Structures are given as structure tokens and as C-alpha cells.
Amino acid sequence: MATDDARKATDAELDILNVLWQVGPSTVRAVHDAMTRLRDIRYTTTLKTLQVMTGKGLVSRDESSRAHIYAAAVGQRETQRSLAGELVEKVFGGSAAGLVAGALSAKKASPEELAKIRQLLDDAEEDAR
């Protein structure tokens, strides 16, 4: 995935990507049904958004059957990494520590999440050596 693709994704497009990453390739109806659990959205809006995303290269469309099947064409981890990097630069002045501090002050982390963060820090420290 090109880094630019993640930057071009709107919030609505990221919501659709999250649906496709969770459930896999899906029809417009299946994506729309999942989206309506998040917010009130019209079927035509879901369809149009998927069409725009196809043009951007964010999703692929299989037209071999009557009901077209859409699949994420960009990876979840790579998209998250790209958006997190952009956030670090734009909001935290390039400070990864600022990002972590901001995230931990915005939302309470469970003991399991804190253990995972500690492990990530240990791994990052090991990689830096």
C-alpha cells in the first residue's frame, strides 16, 4: 500500500476499511449492514463510498457475480502505521513519547494493554541497540 493511500482515506472510508478488515470480502449490503451499527447511513452512501474507494485503490471489486464483492486493497497494519506516523508528526511534533502520553491520558488502559505496551517498549529498545 502506498503511504499516500492512507492519507487520502476519509473517516467514513476508514470505517468501511475496518469492516472489510474484520469480516473480509463482502457485498455492499453486508458492508452497509455493518456500517448501520456504527451510525445512520443510507445504502446509496455506502455504495458511492465504496465506488470512490475503488477509484482510490483502497478497495478492490470482484464483478464476477451479480452482487459485486469488495475487499480491502490496503493492509490494516500498514495503514495504522502510516496514520500513526502522520499523527506523531502533525500533532505531537514528531514525539512518539508525546503520542503515547496523549493516548494514555485520553483513555484508561487495561492491565493487559499496559503489559503489551511494556513489551512493545522493550522490543523497541532491543531493536535500537
Q: What is the pLDDT of residue 1?
A: 42
Report how many helices (DSSP H) and strands (DSSP E) the chain contains, helices first: 7, 3
Can you give the pTM of this predicted structure?
0.80
What gap in Å lies between CA 109 and CA 62, rounded to an integer? Answer: 40
Hey, is 75 helix, strand or coil?
A: coil
Q: What is the pLDDT of residue 8?
A: 77
9: exposed, middle or buried (Cβ count in 10 Å: 0-12, 13-18, 19+): buried
Report strand pairing: 69-72 vs 26-27. Answer: antiparallel
Q: What is the pLDDT of residue 43?
A: 97
Phi first, then psi: give them for residue 27, nearest 5 degrees: -75, 165
Residues of the chain with pLDDT under 50: 1-3
Angle between helices 28-36 and 43-56 (to 10 degrees): 120
What gap in Å lies between CA 10 and CA 126, rounded to an integer? Answer: 35
Please, are residues 13 and 49 in contact by the beta-carbon 8 Å criterion? yes
Q: What is the pLDDT of residue 23?
A: 97
Q: What is the pLDDT of residue 29?
A: 97
Q: What is the pLDDT of residue 63?
A: 92
